[in-house]
With several copies, the nearest count.
Chain A
Amino acid sequence: MDWALAIQNLISPPVLFFALGLVAALARSDLSIPEAIAKALSLYLMLAIGFKGGVAASENGLTVDLLLVIGAAGLLSASIPILAFWLLRTTTRVSQIDAAAIAAHYGSISIVTFIAGTAALDAAGIAFPGIMVAAAAAMEAPAIAIALFLAHRGQAGTPQTPKAPWREVALNGSIVLLIGAFIIGMVTGQKGYSDIEPFIADPFKGVLCLFLLDMGLVAGRELRQVRKTLTPALLAFGLYMPPIAGVIGGVTGALIGLPDGGIALLAILSGSASYIAVPAAMRLALPQAKPALYLTLSLAITFPFNLTIGIPFYIALAGWLS
C-alpha cells in the first residue's frame, strides 16, 4: 500500500470536512445542512459525474466494452449480497430478513464513495474510463432482487408481502439523473462540456467538500446510536465486508481487462454500501427489517471506513492487480 497516497487522501479537504461533520455531530453541535440543500448537492454531483463520464466516453470512444463492464458490475452486485448474507447468518444473530436487508446494501453502491474515489484518482494522476459511471448505475437493482429472494427463501406463503418496489427502484431519481446526464454528455461531447464546465467541473471538488460535511454530520448522528444498535459481530462485519467485496470487485475488473483506474473504481463500488436508494427500497419491500441495523452499519461504519482507509487501499490494490 502506498502510504504517501493514503496520507494524502486523509488530509485532503473532502475527507477533513467529512471528519469535521463527524466530530460536530458526535459533540451534538446543531450544525446542519438543510435537507433541500443536501438533496441539491447530491443532484449536482450526480449530474456532474454522469455528464463528465459521458463526455469521456464520447472522447475515447467506448475504450472498454460497455456491455462487458455493465455485465460484470451487475454480476458483482448480485453475488456480493449472497456472500454478505451468508457471513451475517453465520457470524451474527440478525434475523433472516435483517440479514437480507443488510446484504442488499452491500451489494449496492455508495455514489459518494465512488465520487470521492474519482477525486482521489485525479489527485494521484490515474486515469479511469468514463463508462465506470454506467457500472455504478448497474449495481443497484440486482442487489435488491437477490436480497428479496434471500429474505423470503424457505418461508412458505408469507401473507401480504408488500408489492415489490421495482417501479421505484428502476425510476429512482438518482439513477435516472446519472444515466441521463451520461447520455447527454455522450451526445454533446466536448462542445457541450466546454459550455458548462465552469458549473460542473470547476467547483466540483468544493461542492464535494460541502456534501461530505453533511455526510459527516449524518454519519456522526448515526454513530452516536451505534452502541445501542450494533453488536461487536455486526460492527466487525461493517469493517471486513468492504475490503472483501473490494478485492472481489478489483479481481473481476482485472479479469475483464479494465485499466488501472477502472479496476480501482470497480473495487470501490464493490466495497461500498448504499445508504440512499436501498434504505428507501427496503422500507417499501421489507418493512419488518430494522432500519437501525442497516443504516447504522452502512452509514456510520462502512462509509467512513471506505472514505479514509478503503479508497487508498482499493487504489493500491488496483496497482498490484494490473
Chain B
Amino acid sequence: MTQTYPKKRLSIIIEAPFLNRLLDLLDGLDVPGYTALPALAGRGKSRSWRRDALSSDAGRMVQVLIVLDQGKVPAVLQEIRKVLDQQIGIVTLSDVEVLRPELF
C-alpha cells in the first residue's frame, strides 16, 4: 500500500485586485508553493457577482490553495490575517494526506 503523510491544506478565497499582493506576501513567507484557481460567481454578505457581468476586477474572487506542513501553518496564518482582516477573504484550513512529504 502506498504510504501517505499528514499535511495541511490552506484555502484563501480573495478578491482579484489583492491577488498580486497576497502572492507577494506568500513569496516572502516559508510556503512551499501555491496554486490559484479562478472563480466564476459568488455571493457573500455584500453583493452577488458573476465573472461575465463585472466591469472591473473588483469583486471577482480567486481561490489560492496552499499545501503545507502543519508546523508552518501558525506563522503563515498570522501574516495572512494581518492583510485580510480589513478585506474580504475566506480562509479555511483542512487536513490532507500527501504522497511526498519532503515537498512541503
List A contacts of B92 (CB < 8 A): none
Known interface pairs A160-B86, A283-B18, A284-B17; A35-B55 also in contact (CB < 8 Å): no
A30 within 8 A of B: yes
Kindly state the separation between the CA atoms of A275 and B56 in the bound complex, as whole angstroms.
Answer: 7
Q: Identify which of residues 223-277 in chain A touch chain B, using a CB-to-CB cut-off of 8 Å.
A: 225, 275-277
Known interface pairs A275-B55, A279-B58, A299-B55; A288-B86 also in contact (CB < 8 Å): yes
Q: Identify which of residues 39-66 in chain B touch chain A, using a CB-to-CB cut-off of 8 Å.
A: 46-47, 50-59
Whether B55 and A218, one on each chain, are in contact in the complex, defined by CB atoms closer than 8 angstroms, is: yes
List A contacts of B86 (CB < 8 A): 160, 162, 287-288
Whether B53 and A32, one on each chain, are in contact in the complex, defined by CB atoms closer than 8 angstroms, is: yes
Known interface pairs A160-B82, A225-B47, A284-B18; A279-B87 also in contact (CB < 8 Å): no
Sorting the interface of chain A by its residue count into under 10, 10 to 19, 20 to 34 or 35 or more gives 20 to 34
A52 within 8 A of B: no
B35 within 8 A of A: no
B20 within 8 A of A: yes
Whether A291 and B46, one on each chain, are in contact in the complex, defined by CB atoms closer than 8 angstroms, is: yes
Count of chain A to chain B residue pairs whose CB atoms are closer than 8 Å in the complex: 68
- Of A25, A34, A280, A292, which contacts B47 at CB under 8 A? A292
User: Nearest chain A CB to B100's CB is how many angstroms away?
Assistant: 15
Known interface pairs A280-B17, A292-B47; A287-B87 also in contact (CB < 8 Å): yes
Q: List 10 tightest A-B contacts by C-beta distance, closest first.
A: A279-B58, A32-B52, A280-B17, A279-B56, A275-B55, A221-B53, A283-B58, A283-B17, A276-B56, A287-B87
Chain B interface residues (CB < 8 Å from chain A): 15-18, 20-21, 46-47, 50-59, 82, 85-88
Q: Can you report 12 A-B residue pairs in the complex whose CB atoms are below 8 A from each other? A: A32-B52, A32-B53, A168-B17, A168-B20, A277-B56, A280-B17, A283-B58, A291-B46, A291-B58, A292-B46, A295-B56, A295-B58
